[in-house]
Structure 1
Amino acid sequence: MVDASPSADGPAETGPVTTEPVHAKRRGPGRNLPAAIAVGLALAGVLLGALFLFPPAFPVLVGVIMVLAVLELTRALGHGGLRVPAVPLLVGVVGMTVSTVVFDQEGLLVSTAVAVCVLILWRVTESMGLSALRDVAGGVFCLVWIAFLGSFTLLLHGREDGALLVLLAVLGPVGNDVGGYITGVLFGSHPMAPSISPKKSWEGFAGSLLLGTTGVAALGHLVLDLPLWVAIALGVVLVVVSTAGDLAESLLKRDLGIKDMGHLLPGHGGVLDRVDSILLAAPTTYILLEVLLP
Protein backbone atom coordinates (compact mmCIF):
# COMPACT_ATOMS: atom_id res chain seq x y z
CA MET A 1 0.00 0.00 0.00
CA VAL A 2 1.41 3.43 -0.99
CA ASP A 3 0.95 6.55 1.10
CA ALA A 4 0.03 9.31 -1.38
CA SER A 5 -0.12 12.16 1.14
CA PRO A 6 2.41 15.00 0.81
CA SER A 7 5.31 15.19 3.21
CA ALA A 8 7.89 17.72 4.26
CA ASP A 9 10.42 16.12 1.94
CA GLY A 10 8.36 16.82 -1.18
CA PRO A 11 5.46 15.35 -3.05
CA ALA A 12 4.71 11.73 -2.50
CA GLU A 13 5.47 9.16 -5.17
CA THR A 14 2.32 7.65 -6.59
CA GLY A 15 3.91 5.09 -8.94
CA PRO A 16 3.23 1.41 -8.47
CA VAL A 17 5.28 -0.32 -5.84
CA THR A 18 5.74 -4.07 -5.96
CA THR A 19 6.90 -6.07 -3.03
CA GLU A 20 7.70 -9.75 -2.77
CA PRO A 21 7.13 -11.61 0.47
CA VAL A 22 10.26 -12.95 2.07
CA HIS A 23 8.91 -16.49 1.99
CA ALA A 24 8.49 -16.31 -1.79
CA LYS A 25 12.16 -15.73 -2.56
CA ARG A 26 13.72 -18.67 -4.27
CA ARG A 27 17.29 -19.71 -3.74
CA GLY A 28 19.83 -19.31 -6.49
CA PRO A 29 22.44 -21.87 -7.47
CA GLY A 30 24.71 -20.57 -4.70
CA ARG A 31 27.77 -22.52 -5.88
CA ASN A 32 30.12 -23.10 -8.78
CA LEU A 33 27.84 -25.59 -10.50
CA PRO A 34 30.24 -26.92 -13.18
CA ALA A 35 32.94 -27.50 -10.56
CA ALA A 36 30.43 -29.11 -8.20
CA ILE A 37 29.21 -31.50 -10.92
CA ALA A 38 32.76 -32.40 -12.00
CA VAL A 39 33.91 -33.05 -8.45
CA GLY A 40 30.74 -35.01 -7.68
CA LEU A 41 31.24 -37.27 -10.69
CA ALA A 42 34.90 -37.78 -9.78
CA LEU A 43 33.98 -38.74 -6.21
CA ALA A 44 31.32 -41.12 -7.51
CA GLY A 45 33.89 -42.75 -9.79
CA VAL A 46 36.38 -43.21 -6.95
CA LEU A 47 33.71 -44.71 -4.69
CA LEU A 48 32.36 -47.10 -7.33
CA GLY A 49 35.88 -48.16 -8.28
CA ALA A 50 36.75 -48.93 -4.66
CA LEU A 51 33.48 -50.81 -4.13
CA PHE A 52 33.30 -52.91 -7.27
CA LEU A 53 36.65 -52.90 -9.09
CA PHE A 54 39.11 -53.20 -6.19
CA PRO A 55 37.25 -53.85 -2.90
CA PRO A 56 40.42 -53.94 -0.71
CA ALA A 57 40.81 -50.22 -1.45
CA PHE A 58 37.50 -49.34 0.19
CA PRO A 59 38.71 -49.45 3.83
CA VAL A 60 41.70 -47.32 2.81
CA LEU A 61 39.37 -44.82 1.15
CA VAL A 62 37.16 -44.67 4.25
CA GLY A 63 40.21 -44.19 6.49
CA VAL A 64 41.56 -41.35 4.34
CA ILE A 65 38.19 -39.62 4.24
CA MET A 66 37.81 -39.85 8.02
CA VAL A 67 41.34 -38.53 8.62
CA LEU A 68 40.67 -35.51 6.37
CA ALA A 69 37.29 -34.92 8.00
CA VAL A 70 38.80 -35.05 11.50
CA LEU A 71 41.48 -32.54 10.51
CA GLU A 72 38.81 -30.21 9.15
CA LEU A 73 36.69 -30.53 12.28
CA THR A 74 39.60 -29.92 14.67
CA ARG A 75 40.47 -26.75 12.75
CA ALA A 76 36.83 -25.67 12.81
CA LEU A 77 36.56 -26.25 16.56
CA GLY A 78 39.65 -24.11 16.94
CA HIS A 79 37.52 -21.18 15.76
CA GLY A 80 35.34 -21.85 18.80
CA GLY A 81 38.28 -21.72 21.19
CA LEU A 82 38.79 -25.47 21.58
CA ARG A 83 42.31 -26.89 21.39
CA VAL A 84 41.58 -30.45 20.34
CA PRO A 85 44.79 -32.51 19.99
CA ALA A 86 44.94 -33.86 16.43
CA VAL A 87 47.60 -36.57 16.90
CA PRO A 88 45.66 -38.92 19.22
CA LEU A 89 42.54 -38.37 17.13
CA LEU A 90 44.28 -39.39 13.93
CA VAL A 91 45.84 -42.42 15.60
CA GLY A 92 42.40 -43.31 16.92
CA VAL A 93 40.84 -43.03 13.45
CA VAL A 94 43.43 -45.38 11.96
CA GLY A 95 43.06 -47.82 14.86
CA MET A 96 39.27 -47.80 14.64
CA THR A 97 39.39 -48.38 10.88
CA VAL A 98 41.74 -51.35 11.13
CA SER A 99 39.96 -52.84 14.15
CA THR A 100 36.56 -52.62 12.46
CA VAL A 101 37.82 -54.35 9.31
CA VAL A 102 39.53 -57.13 11.28
CA PHE A 103 37.22 -57.66 14.27
CA ASP A 104 33.88 -56.23 13.07
CA GLN A 105 31.52 -54.77 15.71
CA GLU A 106 33.62 -55.82 18.70
CA GLY A 107 36.68 -54.22 17.16
CA LEU A 108 34.86 -50.95 16.63
CA LEU A 109 33.57 -50.81 20.21
CA VAL A 110 36.90 -51.68 21.84
CA SER A 111 38.97 -49.40 19.60
CA THR A 112 36.57 -46.50 20.23
CA ALA A 113 36.94 -46.93 24.01
CA VAL A 114 40.73 -47.13 23.69
CA ALA A 115 40.83 -44.04 21.47
CA VAL A 116 38.80 -42.03 23.99
CA CYS A 117 41.11 -43.10 26.84
CA VAL A 118 44.22 -42.17 24.86
CA LEU A 119 42.69 -38.79 24.00
CA ILE A 120 41.93 -38.05 27.65
CA LEU A 121 45.41 -39.06 28.84
CA TRP A 122 47.08 -37.08 26.05
CA ARG A 123 45.19 -33.89 26.83
CA VAL A 124 45.39 -33.98 30.64
CA THR A 125 49.17 -34.41 30.51
CA GLU A 126 49.34 -30.93 28.95
CA SER A 127 47.12 -29.09 31.43
CA MET A 128 44.17 -29.56 33.76
CA GLY A 129 41.06 -27.59 34.49
CA LEU A 130 37.93 -26.53 32.65
CA SER A 131 39.73 -25.85 29.37
CA ALA A 132 41.11 -29.39 29.29
CA LEU A 133 37.64 -30.78 29.95
CA ARG A 134 36.20 -28.75 27.08
CA ASP A 135 39.00 -29.87 24.75
CA VAL A 136 38.47 -33.52 25.67
CA ALA A 137 34.72 -33.18 25.06
CA GLY A 138 35.48 -31.69 21.64
CA GLY A 139 37.85 -34.55 20.88
CA VAL A 140 35.32 -37.20 21.89
CA PHE A 141 32.78 -35.43 19.69
CA CYS A 142 35.20 -35.72 16.74
CA LEU A 143 35.78 -39.41 17.37
CA VAL A 144 32.12 -40.29 17.75
CA TRP A 145 30.73 -38.15 14.93
CA ILE A 146 33.32 -38.99 12.30
CA ALA A 147 35.28 -42.13 13.19
CA PHE A 148 32.63 -44.14 15.07
CA LEU A 149 29.69 -43.34 12.79
CA GLY A 150 31.85 -43.47 9.67
CA SER A 151 33.06 -46.96 10.56
CA PHE A 152 29.54 -48.28 9.99
CA THR A 153 30.31 -48.09 6.27
CA LEU A 154 32.99 -50.71 6.98
CA LEU A 155 30.50 -52.84 8.92
CA LEU A 156 28.12 -52.68 5.96
CA HIS A 157 30.96 -53.50 3.58
CA GLY A 158 31.80 -56.60 5.60
CA ARG A 159 28.34 -58.10 5.19
CA GLU A 160 27.07 -60.20 2.30
CA ASP A 161 26.51 -57.93 -0.72
CA GLY A 162 28.50 -55.35 1.23
CA ALA A 163 29.33 -53.16 -1.75
CA LEU A 164 25.65 -52.80 -2.63
CA LEU A 165 24.73 -52.10 0.99
CA VAL A 166 27.27 -49.28 1.14
CA LEU A 167 25.89 -47.93 -2.12
CA LEU A 168 22.41 -48.13 -0.61
CA ALA A 169 23.51 -46.04 2.37
CA VAL A 170 25.12 -43.48 0.06
CA LEU A 171 22.19 -43.21 -2.36
CA GLY A 172 19.94 -41.74 0.34
CA PRO A 173 22.17 -38.73 1.07
CA VAL A 174 23.03 -38.26 -2.62
CA GLY A 175 19.37 -38.30 -3.63
CA ASN A 176 18.63 -35.97 -0.74
CA ASP A 177 21.25 -33.47 -1.90
CA VAL A 178 20.53 -33.63 -5.63
CA GLY A 179 16.75 -33.72 -5.35
CA GLY A 180 16.70 -30.99 -2.74
CA TYR A 181 19.07 -28.77 -4.71
CA ILE A 182 17.17 -29.00 -8.01
CA THR A 183 13.68 -28.52 -6.60
CA GLY A 184 14.93 -25.90 -4.16
CA VAL A 185 16.45 -23.80 -6.95
CA LEU A 186 13.42 -24.18 -9.21
CA PHE A 187 10.53 -24.02 -6.75
CA GLY A 188 11.84 -23.28 -3.26
CA SER A 189 9.94 -20.48 -1.57
CA HIS A 190 9.13 -21.71 1.95
CA PRO A 191 12.23 -21.93 4.19
CA MET A 192 12.49 -25.06 6.29
CA ALA A 193 14.82 -23.69 8.99
CA PRO A 194 15.73 -20.09 8.08
CA SER A 195 17.71 -19.48 11.27
CA ILE A 196 19.94 -22.50 10.58
CA SER A 197 20.11 -22.94 6.81
CA PRO A 198 18.26 -20.19 4.90
CA LYS A 199 18.58 -21.99 1.54
CA LYS A 200 16.77 -25.15 2.63
CA SER A 201 13.09 -25.12 1.68
CA TRP A 202 10.14 -27.42 2.12
CA GLU A 203 9.87 -27.67 -1.66
CA GLY A 204 13.47 -28.85 -1.72
CA PHE A 205 12.71 -31.39 0.98
CA ALA A 206 9.85 -32.75 -1.15
CA GLY A 207 12.30 -33.19 -4.02
CA SER A 208 14.72 -34.89 -1.65
CA LEU A 209 12.03 -37.33 -0.55
CA LEU A 210 11.06 -38.10 -4.13
CA LEU A 211 14.54 -38.70 -5.55
CA GLY A 212 16.17 -40.16 -2.44
CA THR A 213 13.36 -42.60 -1.69
CA THR A 214 13.08 -43.66 -5.34
CA GLY A 215 16.80 -44.35 -5.63
CA VAL A 216 17.04 -46.32 -2.39
CA ALA A 217 13.82 -48.24 -3.04
CA ALA A 218 14.88 -49.17 -6.59
CA LEU A 219 18.29 -50.47 -5.52
CA GLY A 220 16.96 -52.16 -2.40
CA HIS A 221 14.01 -53.90 -4.01
CA LEU A 222 15.20 -54.60 -7.56
CA VAL A 223 18.85 -55.42 -6.86
CA LEU A 224 19.07 -56.49 -3.23
CA ASP A 225 15.66 -58.21 -3.20
CA LEU A 226 14.50 -56.37 -0.10
CA PRO A 227 10.74 -56.36 0.50
CA LEU A 228 9.27 -53.31 -1.21
CA TRP A 229 7.93 -51.83 2.02
CA VAL A 230 11.35 -52.21 3.67
CA ALA A 231 13.08 -50.54 0.72
CA ILE A 232 10.62 -47.63 0.69
CA ALA A 233 10.73 -47.19 4.47
CA LEU A 234 14.53 -47.24 4.38
CA GLY A 235 14.56 -44.60 1.64
CA VAL A 236 12.25 -42.27 3.56
CA VAL A 237 14.20 -42.65 6.81
CA LEU A 238 17.54 -42.07 5.06
CA VAL A 239 16.29 -38.83 3.48
CA VAL A 240 14.99 -37.58 6.83
CA VAL A 241 18.23 -38.53 8.57
CA SER A 242 20.32 -36.95 5.80
CA THR A 243 18.39 -33.70 6.09
CA ALA A 244 18.90 -33.74 9.86
CA GLY A 245 22.62 -34.29 9.30
CA ASP A 246 22.81 -31.33 6.93
CA LEU A 247 20.98 -29.07 9.36
CA ALA A 248 23.11 -30.22 12.31
CA GLU A 249 26.33 -29.38 10.47
CA SER A 250 24.88 -26.05 9.31
CA LEU A 251 24.05 -25.20 12.93
CA LEU A 252 27.56 -26.13 14.04
CA LYS A 253 29.13 -24.00 11.32
CA ARG A 254 26.86 -21.08 12.21
CA ASP A 255 27.86 -21.36 15.88
CA LEU A 256 31.55 -21.47 14.92
CA GLY A 257 31.18 -18.56 12.50
CA ILE A 258 32.43 -20.39 9.40
CA LYS A 259 30.86 -21.00 5.98
CA ASP A 260 32.45 -24.35 5.08
CA MET A 261 34.42 -26.93 7.00
CA GLY A 262 37.13 -26.80 4.35
CA HIS A 263 37.94 -25.94 0.74
CA LEU A 264 39.38 -29.18 -0.59
CA LEU A 265 36.45 -29.94 -2.90
CA PRO A 266 35.54 -27.07 -5.28
CA GLY A 267 31.81 -26.47 -5.38
CA HIS A 268 31.25 -28.61 -2.28
CA GLY A 269 33.43 -27.11 0.45
CA GLY A 270 35.34 -29.53 2.60
CA VAL A 271 35.33 -33.30 2.91
CA LEU A 272 33.11 -33.11 5.99
CA ASP A 273 30.63 -30.93 4.09
CA ARG A 274 30.30 -33.77 1.59
CA VAL A 275 30.03 -36.73 3.99
CA ASP A 276 28.07 -35.21 6.90
CA SER A 277 24.83 -36.92 5.84
CA ILE A 278 26.53 -40.24 5.10
CA LEU A 279 27.89 -40.30 8.65
CA LEU A 280 24.31 -40.63 9.89
CA ALA A 281 22.95 -42.63 6.96
CA ALA A 282 25.45 -45.49 7.30
CA PRO A 283 24.60 -46.45 10.92
CA THR A 284 20.91 -45.88 10.20
CA THR A 285 21.08 -48.33 7.28
CA TYR A 286 22.98 -50.88 9.35
CA ILE A 287 20.59 -50.71 12.31
CA LEU A 288 17.40 -50.75 10.22
CA LEU A 289 18.57 -53.78 8.25
CA GLU A 290 19.42 -55.55 11.51
CA VAL A 291 15.98 -54.74 12.96
CA LEU A 292 13.80 -55.25 9.88
CA LEU A 293 15.68 -58.22 8.42
CA PRO A 294 17.07 -60.22 11.37
Structure 2
Amino acid sequence: MRLRTLTAIALAPIIIFGIVIGDWAVLALALVVIGIAAYELSRALEPLPFNAALVAGVTPVLLSIPFGTVGILAGSILSLPWALVWLAGRSDVRTLRAILAILLMSVWVGVPMAHLGLISDLANGRLLIVIAIVGPWISDAGAYIFGRLFGRHLLFPTLSPKKTVEGGVGGLVLTTAIVGWFSLEVLGFDPVKSIILGLMVSVASQAGDLFESTLKRILDIKDLGKILPGHGGMLDRIDSLLFTAPAVYYISLLL
Protein backbone atom coordinates (compact mmCIF):
# COMPACT_ATOMS: atom_id res chain seq x y z
CA MET A 1 0.00 0.00 0.00
CA ARG A 2 2.87 2.38 0.77
CA LEU A 3 4.43 1.77 -2.64
CA ARG A 4 1.05 2.26 -4.32
CA THR A 5 0.59 5.59 -2.55
CA LEU A 6 4.08 6.86 -3.38
CA THR A 7 3.67 5.89 -7.02
CA ALA A 8 0.30 7.63 -7.20
CA ILE A 9 1.80 10.79 -5.68
CA ALA A 10 4.64 10.74 -8.19
CA LEU A 11 2.28 10.32 -11.14
CA ALA A 12 -0.30 12.90 -10.00
CA PRO A 13 1.62 16.03 -11.19
CA ILE A 14 2.09 14.52 -14.66
CA ILE A 15 -1.59 13.65 -14.95
CA ILE A 16 -2.67 17.07 -13.64
CA PHE A 17 -0.33 18.82 -16.07
CA GLY A 18 -1.77 16.90 -19.00
CA ILE A 19 -5.35 17.64 -17.98
CA VAL A 20 -4.71 21.36 -17.40
CA ILE A 21 -2.93 21.80 -20.74
CA GLY A 22 -5.44 19.59 -22.53
CA ASP A 23 -5.50 18.80 -26.27
CA TRP A 24 -1.97 17.92 -27.40
CA ALA A 25 -0.76 17.16 -23.87
CA VAL A 26 -3.55 14.61 -23.37
CA LEU A 27 -2.73 12.96 -26.69
CA ALA A 28 0.99 12.98 -25.90
CA LEU A 29 0.38 11.24 -22.57
CA ALA A 30 -1.91 8.77 -24.31
CA LEU A 31 0.84 7.91 -26.81
CA VAL A 32 3.39 7.42 -24.03
CA VAL A 33 0.99 5.13 -22.16
CA ILE A 34 0.32 3.16 -25.35
CA GLY A 35 4.05 2.76 -25.93
CA ILE A 36 4.55 1.28 -22.47
CA ALA A 37 1.46 -0.88 -22.84
CA ALA A 38 2.72 -2.19 -26.20
CA TYR A 39 5.98 -3.23 -24.56
CA GLU A 40 4.16 -4.97 -21.70
CA LEU A 41 1.77 -6.78 -24.01
CA SER A 42 4.56 -7.85 -26.36
CA ARG A 43 6.34 -9.43 -23.38
CA ALA A 44 3.19 -11.08 -22.00
CA LEU A 45 1.97 -12.32 -25.37
CA GLU A 46 5.14 -13.55 -27.01
CA PRO A 47 5.88 -13.83 -29.91
CA LEU A 48 4.04 -10.51 -30.44
CA PRO A 49 6.60 -8.05 -31.90
CA PHE A 50 6.80 -4.74 -30.04
CA ASN A 51 6.74 -2.67 -33.25
CA ALA A 52 3.61 -4.42 -34.46
CA ALA A 53 1.87 -3.84 -31.13
CA LEU A 54 2.96 -0.19 -31.01
CA VAL A 55 1.61 0.70 -34.45
CA ALA A 56 -1.65 -1.14 -33.76
CA GLY A 57 -2.07 0.88 -30.56
CA VAL A 58 -1.15 4.36 -31.81
CA THR A 59 -3.02 4.23 -35.15
CA PRO A 60 -6.51 4.80 -33.66
CA VAL A 61 -5.13 7.74 -31.66
CA LEU A 62 -3.36 9.36 -34.59
CA LEU A 63 -6.32 8.94 -36.94
CA SER A 64 -8.69 10.33 -34.30
CA ILE A 65 -6.91 13.70 -34.45
CA PRO A 66 -8.14 14.66 -37.95
CA PHE A 67 -11.15 12.31 -38.25
CA GLY A 68 -12.60 11.89 -34.74
CA THR A 69 -14.65 8.75 -34.10
CA VAL A 70 -14.41 7.75 -37.77
CA GLY A 71 -10.62 7.78 -37.42
CA ILE A 72 -10.81 5.57 -34.34
CA LEU A 73 -12.97 3.07 -36.21
CA ALA A 74 -10.62 3.14 -39.19
CA GLY A 75 -7.60 2.66 -36.92
CA SER A 76 -9.12 -0.39 -35.29
CA ILE A 77 -10.11 -1.91 -38.65
CA LEU A 78 -6.62 -1.34 -40.06
CA SER A 79 -5.08 -3.38 -37.24
CA LEU A 80 -6.00 -6.66 -38.96
CA PRO A 81 -4.33 -5.97 -42.33
CA TRP A 82 -1.42 -4.46 -40.42
CA ALA A 83 -1.09 -7.69 -38.45
CA LEU A 84 -1.11 -9.74 -41.63
CA VAL A 85 1.43 -7.48 -43.37
CA TRP A 86 3.77 -7.52 -40.38
CA LEU A 87 3.58 -11.24 -39.78
CA ALA A 88 3.69 -12.27 -43.45
CA GLY A 89 7.47 -11.97 -43.57
CA ARG A 90 8.15 -13.24 -40.06
CA SER A 91 7.76 -17.00 -39.95
CA ASP A 92 9.03 -17.05 -36.36
CA VAL A 93 6.07 -15.01 -35.14
CA ARG A 94 3.43 -16.06 -37.67
CA THR A 95 0.93 -17.42 -35.17
CA LEU A 96 -2.74 -16.96 -34.39
CA ARG A 97 -1.70 -15.81 -30.91
CA ALA A 98 0.31 -12.91 -32.38
CA ILE A 99 -2.52 -11.84 -34.67
CA LEU A 100 -5.04 -11.85 -31.83
CA ALA A 101 -2.55 -9.97 -29.64
CA ILE A 102 -2.27 -7.19 -32.24
CA LEU A 103 -6.06 -6.93 -32.40
CA LEU A 104 -6.18 -6.83 -28.59
CA MET A 105 -3.63 -4.01 -28.55
CA SER A 106 -5.69 -2.00 -30.99
CA VAL A 107 -9.18 -2.57 -29.62
CA TRP A 108 -8.42 -2.86 -25.90
CA VAL A 109 -5.73 -0.17 -25.60
CA GLY A 110 -5.56 2.07 -28.68
CA VAL A 111 -9.27 2.70 -29.19
CA PRO A 112 -10.08 3.62 -25.55
CA MET A 113 -7.01 5.87 -25.22
CA ALA A 114 -8.05 7.70 -28.40
CA HIS A 115 -11.31 8.59 -26.65
CA LEU A 116 -9.41 10.72 -24.15
CA GLY A 117 -8.58 13.10 -26.99
CA LEU A 118 -12.22 13.16 -28.05
CA ILE A 119 -13.31 13.92 -24.48
CA SER A 120 -10.94 16.90 -24.31
CA ASP A 121 -12.76 18.42 -27.32
CA LEU A 122 -16.14 18.35 -25.57
CA ALA A 123 -17.57 21.16 -23.49
CA ASN A 124 -16.03 20.81 -20.00
CA GLY A 125 -13.69 18.27 -21.57
CA ARG A 126 -10.95 18.66 -18.97
CA LEU A 127 -13.39 18.00 -16.14
CA LEU A 128 -14.83 14.99 -17.93
CA ILE A 129 -11.30 13.58 -18.27
CA VAL A 130 -10.95 14.03 -14.51
CA ILE A 131 -14.09 11.92 -14.07
CA ALA A 132 -12.77 9.24 -16.45
CA ILE A 133 -9.45 9.03 -14.57
CA VAL A 134 -10.49 9.65 -10.96
CA GLY A 135 -13.83 7.82 -11.15
CA PRO A 136 -12.15 4.38 -11.16
CA TRP A 137 -10.04 5.39 -8.15
CA ILE A 138 -13.22 6.27 -6.25
CA SER A 139 -14.86 3.02 -7.31
CA ASP A 140 -11.80 1.02 -6.21
CA ALA A 141 -11.75 2.81 -2.85
CA GLY A 142 -15.44 2.17 -2.27
CA ALA A 143 -15.09 -1.48 -3.25
CA TYR A 144 -12.08 -1.92 -0.96
CA ILE A 145 -13.70 -0.27 2.07
CA PHE A 146 -17.09 -1.94 1.74
CA GLY A 147 -15.47 -5.24 0.84
CA ARG A 148 -13.29 -5.21 3.95
CA LEU A 149 -16.17 -4.21 6.21
CA PHE A 150 -19.10 -6.17 4.78
CA GLY A 151 -17.72 -8.55 2.14
CA ARG A 152 -19.29 -11.98 2.42
CA HIS A 153 -20.28 -13.09 -1.07
CA LEU A 154 -17.75 -13.45 -3.88
CA LEU A 155 -18.64 -11.54 -7.04
CA PHE A 156 -16.74 -13.61 -9.65
CA PRO A 157 -14.75 -16.22 -7.73
CA THR A 158 -13.28 -17.80 -10.86
CA LEU A 159 -11.97 -14.45 -12.13
CA SER A 160 -11.10 -12.48 -9.01
CA PRO A 161 -11.23 -14.36 -5.70
CA LYS A 162 -11.00 -11.19 -3.58
CA LYS A 163 -13.84 -9.16 -5.10
CA THR A 164 -17.18 -9.37 -3.33
CA VAL A 165 -20.73 -8.41 -4.17
CA GLU A 166 -20.77 -6.06 -1.19
CA GLY A 167 -17.55 -4.42 -2.37
CA GLY A 168 -18.92 -4.00 -5.89
CA VAL A 169 -22.09 -2.39 -4.56
CA GLY A 170 -20.02 -0.14 -2.29
CA GLY A 171 -17.93 1.03 -5.22
CA LEU A 172 -21.09 1.66 -7.21
CA VAL A 173 -22.71 3.68 -4.42
CA LEU A 174 -19.63 5.78 -3.61
CA THR A 175 -18.86 6.54 -7.26
CA THR A 176 -22.46 7.45 -8.02
CA ALA A 177 -22.56 9.77 -5.01
CA ILE A 178 -19.30 11.60 -5.69
CA VAL A 179 -19.32 11.65 -9.49
CA GLY A 180 -23.04 12.39 -9.47
CA TRP A 181 -22.56 15.36 -7.12
CA PHE A 182 -19.60 16.64 -9.16
CA SER A 183 -21.56 16.35 -12.41
CA LEU A 184 -24.58 18.09 -10.91
CA GLU A 185 -22.85 20.93 -9.08
CA VAL A 186 -19.72 21.55 -11.18
CA LEU A 187 -20.66 20.47 -14.70
CA GLY A 188 -24.29 21.57 -14.44
CA PHE A 189 -25.73 18.24 -15.62
CA ASP A 190 -29.32 17.44 -14.75
CA PRO A 191 -29.89 14.98 -11.88
CA VAL A 192 -30.74 12.00 -14.12
CA LYS A 193 -27.66 12.44 -16.31
CA SER A 194 -25.48 12.91 -13.22
CA ILE A 195 -26.71 9.68 -11.64
CA ILE A 196 -26.37 7.70 -14.87
CA LEU A 197 -22.83 9.00 -15.39
CA GLY A 198 -21.82 8.03 -11.86
CA LEU A 199 -23.36 4.57 -12.19
CA MET A 200 -21.79 3.85 -15.56
CA VAL A 201 -18.34 5.05 -14.50
CA SER A 202 -18.34 2.52 -11.66
CA VAL A 203 -19.79 -0.27 -13.81
CA ALA A 204 -17.25 0.40 -16.57
CA SER A 205 -14.42 0.64 -14.04
CA GLN A 206 -15.24 -2.70 -12.42
CA ALA A 207 -15.76 -4.33 -15.83
CA GLY A 208 -12.35 -3.09 -16.99
CA ASP A 209 -10.70 -4.51 -13.90
CA LEU A 210 -12.42 -7.87 -14.34
CA PHE A 211 -11.46 -7.97 -18.02
CA GLU A 212 -7.79 -7.60 -17.18
CA SER A 213 -8.10 -10.15 -14.37
CA THR A 214 -9.53 -12.60 -16.91
CA LEU A 215 -6.69 -11.92 -19.33
CA LYS A 216 -4.06 -12.48 -16.64
CA ARG A 217 -5.70 -15.74 -15.61
CA ILE A 218 -5.67 -16.91 -19.21
CA LEU A 219 -1.97 -16.03 -19.43
CA ASP A 220 -1.33 -17.38 -15.91
CA ILE A 221 0.59 -14.28 -14.76
CA LYS A 222 0.21 -12.04 -11.71
CA ASP A 223 0.92 -8.67 -13.36
CA LEU A 224 1.37 -7.55 -16.95
CA GLY A 225 4.42 -5.46 -16.03
CA LYS A 226 6.53 -4.00 -13.24
CA ILE A 227 7.05 -0.37 -14.25
CA LEU A 228 4.85 1.06 -11.48
CA PRO A 229 5.92 -0.07 -7.97
CA GLY A 230 2.96 -1.32 -5.98
CA HIS A 231 0.69 -1.32 -9.03
CA GLY A 232 2.41 -3.73 -11.40
CA GLY A 233 2.51 -2.61 -15.01
CA MET A 234 0.94 0.28 -16.88
CA LEU A 235 -1.88 -1.95 -18.05
CA ASP A 236 -2.50 -3.02 -14.45
CA ARG A 237 -2.96 0.65 -13.60
CA ILE A 238 -5.14 1.78 -16.53
CA ASP A 239 -7.32 -1.32 -16.95
CA SER A 240 -10.36 0.53 -15.60
CA LEU A 241 -9.62 3.72 -17.57
CA LEU A 242 -9.71 1.71 -20.79
CA PHE A 243 -13.40 1.08 -20.12
CA THR A 244 -14.37 4.37 -18.43
CA ALA A 245 -12.97 6.71 -21.11
CA PRO A 246 -15.34 5.51 -23.87
CA ALA A 247 -18.20 5.33 -21.35
CA VAL A 248 -17.74 8.95 -20.27
CA TYR A 249 -17.47 10.14 -23.86
CA TYR A 250 -20.59 8.44 -25.19
CA ILE A 251 -22.73 9.12 -22.12
CA SER A 252 -21.81 12.82 -22.41
CA LEU A 253 -22.91 12.78 -26.06
CA LEU A 254 -26.03 10.64 -25.77
CA LEU A 255 -27.46 12.36 -22.71
Alignment counterpart, residue 174 of structure 2, candidates 195, 205, 211: 211
Which residue number in structure 2 is paired with residue 65 of structure 1?
33
Q: Which amino acid aligns with 1:116?
A: L
**8 Å contact 2:175–2:199 — kept in the other structure?**
yes
Q: Distance in 2 between matches of 1:48 and 1:37?
A: 16
1:96–1:147 Cα contact (<8 Å) kept: yes
Alignment of 1:33-48 (within 5 A): 33-48=1-16
Structure 1 residue ranges (4+ consecutive) displaced by more than 4 angstroms after TM superposition? none
Asked if the contact 1:261–1:272 (Cα under 8 Å) also holds between the matched residues in 2, the reply is yes
1:1-294 alignment to 2 at 5 Å?
Answer: 33-53=1-21, 56-78=24-46, 83-127=47-91, 132-292=95-255
Equivalent pairs, count:
255
Q: Who is 1:5 aligned against? A: none
- C-alpha distance in structure 1 between counterparts of 2:197 and 2:22, whole Å: 27
Answer yes or no: is the 8 Å Cα contact 1:172–1:213 preserved in 2.
no
Question: Structure 1 residue 164: deviation in Å?
Answer: 1.0
Higher Rg of the two aligned structures: 1
Residue deviations 1:235-290 (CA, integer Å, cap 9, x gap): 11221121111111111111211011111111111110111111011111112222
Q: Which runs of 5+ in 2 are unaligned?
A: none
Report the Cα distance in structure 2 between the residues aligned to 1:186 and 1:39, rounded to whole angstroms. Answer: 26
The structure that is helix-richer by fraction is 2
Tell me, yes or no, if the aligned pair for 1:171 and 1:216 is still in contact at 8 Å.
no
RMSD of aligned residue pairs (Cα, Å): 2.0
State the alpha-carbon separation in 2 of the partners of residues 244 and 63 from structure 1: 23
Looking at structure 1, the residues matched to 179 and 38 of structure 2 have their Cα atoms a distance apart, in angstroms, of 28
Report the TM-score, using the length of structure 1 for normalisation.
Answer: 0.80
Contact 1:124 1:132 (8 Å CA) reproduced: no
Question: For each residue in 1:156-177, what CA deviation from the matched residue of structure 2 results, as whole angstroms up to 9, or x when unmatched?
Answer: 1122221111112223211111
The secondary structure found in structure 2 opposite 1:151 is: helix
Partner amino acid, structure 1, of 2:106: L
Structure 1: stretches of 5+ with no match in the other structure: 1-32
